[in-house]
């Protein structure tokens, strides 16, 4: 872990550990990306809720608002221990930034490796009124630069959330007799009734539960397209636009948007239908882009079949996905060059 930023009374960092079981993994023994995302969110929720209740005042529960892009750096397997470390790195008036590292540990050999790094944003909701966002106790920074850098990240994610919400009107419609490797051939949906075990103390769905379902649908889309073993490579920013209440029926939908030679981008969104207590129209609750890679039985990367786009919308989404892919690739190359020079 990096040096904790907070010097105040709230915990600077926590660690959550769990051994990976067969029901956490796919048929090839690789742990589902959704399982890891769920653990990341749980650690973030614990430390941010603790911080938000570290001073006298109205009790609250931290709700997940956004997950920044996270890369799956190395696969985790059944029998390994996932060590999830979380620390608070910035607080604004109404939000908390939590940075999380995930390390896999082989308990037979003692070998360890970093598998994930993620940044999450939480907002504190009152236990007395779930629609009331409370103020966050300010954290103390070891250096002024930490606060300035955190504020810059806060403004960037705030702008990106607004842009994402504005393009959130898309729906996925069924396609009759689709051809292989088309968007309609692999698109998938999952319907889930939100129960008490899915929810926080406030009766709203845990962000980790939602992300796990999203990863499951994205994995089905990728597997249908490739017909091979697939694993999560990365997740672009996940934006939680509205809360999902207990008793809602949620529809998690995914479709292929872009393929490169060795990766595929899948757009996933979650729509909620409230049926209990407060009937209202279906609404878009969460949206994100997942990136998957195809692997051989030996775990080696395989070529991905080219996505066949048919409509103008599919071609537009393909070009937008290509832009995101090239931007990420350029950023990764710049980081590698910077590391090589140090």
Residues forming the active site: 26, 215
Q: What are the C-alpha distances in Å from 130 to residues 124, 133, 190, 238, 245?
A: 9, 8, 27, 22, 11
In three-state secondary structure terms, 188 is strand
Instruction: Count other C-beta atoms under 10 Å from residue 273's C-beta.
Output: 17
Contact (CB, 8 A) for 305 and 293: no
Angle at 317 between CA 304 and CA 283, to 5 degrees: 115
Strands (E), the chain: 13-19, 60-67, 70-72, 81-91, 96-105, 112-126, 188-193, 229-235, 238-240, 249-259, 264-273, 283-295
Contact (CB, 8 A) for 261 and 303: yes
**Furthest-apart CA atoms within the chain: distance in Å:** 61
Q: What are the C-alpha distances in Å from 122 to residues 45, 71, 217?
A: 8, 20, 24
The token duo for 190 is 């999952």
Sequence-ordered alpha helix ranges (H) in the chain? 33-52, 144-166, 183-186, 207-226, 312-341
């Amino acid at each position: 872990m990096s040096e904790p930023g907070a010097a105040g009374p709230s915990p600077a960092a926590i660690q959550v550990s769990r051994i990976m079981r067969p029901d956490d993994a796919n048929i090839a023994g690789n742990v589902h990306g959704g399982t890891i995302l769920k653990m990341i969110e749980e650690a973030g929720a614990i430390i941010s809720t603790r911080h938000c209740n570290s001073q006298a005042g109205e009790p609250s529960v931290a709700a997940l608002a956004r997950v920044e892009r996270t890369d799956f750096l190395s696969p985790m397997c059944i029998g390994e221990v996932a060590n999830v470390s979380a620390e608070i790195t910035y607080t604004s008036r109404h939000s908390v930034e939590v940075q999380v590292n995930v390390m896999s540990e082989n308990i037979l050999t003692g070998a360890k490796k970093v598998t994930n790094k993620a940044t999450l944003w939480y907002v504190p909701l009152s236990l007395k009124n779930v629609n009331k966002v409370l103020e966050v106790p300010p954290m103390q920074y070891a250096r002024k630069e930490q606060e300035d850098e955190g504020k810059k990240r806060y403004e960037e994610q705030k702008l990106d959330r607004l842009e994402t919400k504005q393009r959130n009107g898309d729906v996925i419609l069924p396609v009759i007799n689709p051809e292989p490797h088309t968007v309609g051939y692999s698109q998938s949906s999952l319907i889930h009734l939100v129960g008490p075990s899915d929810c926080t103390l406030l009766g709203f769905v845990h962000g980790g539960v939602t992300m796990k379902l999203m990863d499951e649908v994205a994995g089905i889309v990728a597997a249908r397209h490739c017909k091979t073993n697939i694993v999560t490579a990365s997740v672009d920013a996940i934006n939680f636009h509205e809360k999902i209440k207990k008793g809602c029926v949620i529809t998690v939908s995914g479709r292929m948007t872009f393929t490169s030679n060795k990766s595929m981008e899948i757009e996933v969104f979650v729509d909620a239908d409230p049926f209990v207590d407060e009937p209202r129209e279906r609404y878009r609750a969460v949206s994100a882009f997942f990136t998957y890679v195809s692997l051989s039985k030996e775990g080696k990367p395989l070529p991905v079949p080219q996505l066949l786009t048919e409509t103008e919308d599919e071609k537009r989404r393909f070009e937008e996905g290509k832009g995101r892919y090239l931007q990420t690739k350029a950023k990764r190359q710049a980081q590698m060059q910077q590391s090589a020079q140090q």
